[in-house]
Amino acid sequence: MAESSFKLNDKTILIYGPIHPIVHSLAGRFIEEGSDVALIDPTANESSRFINNLMDMRQIHPHYGRSAALEFHITDREVAKEAISRAAELFGSVDVFIDVSLGARDFTDNTEPTKLFTEEVLHFFQGRRKGRIIYLTYSNDLLRVTNDKKSIK
């Protein structure tokens, strides 16, 4: 099997969305690979227990990455920008944005949290000239929207 050219060690992963088993698996695996993980969730108190477990694993395995739960209700671009800035302050940067909302996303709605976050993350990544965006979804609707050059620039 060919080795990936994208190393996860010393990367910062920003995960946005509710805590569910998929997020547990992703965050746990990223931490094991040495990535730092910031979970952006409107109910960070639920995320905090999970984050504490991840940080306990770091005490046993010092090469594991760090983690943090950040509570933000993404209502506009300024809140999204603040969430990204906070994660970058904690871990030094942001390298990957993962939206785990899984549900339908409406990129024509200017108040939709995924769209707000995507616009700010793109702006952040353009300034750094690198970064990756990943969406977890149940449908192909997102693929149709992202192929529309007018929806996401």
> What one-character-per-residue DSSP string does 55-109 give?
HHHHHH-TTSPPEEEEE----SHHHHHHHHHHHHHHHS---EEEEEEES---TT-
What is the rounded average pLDDT for all residues in the chain? 83
At 83-134, the pLDDT tens digits run 999 999 999 999 999 998 866 666 677 778 888 888 999 999 998 888 999 8
Per-residue pLDDT, 153: 45
Report which of residues 30 and 48 the model is more confident about: 30
pLDDT of residue 3: 56
pLDDT band for position 4 (50/70/90)?
Answer: low
Which stretch of DSSP H or E encloses residue 15? strand 12-16
Tell me how long the chain is: 153
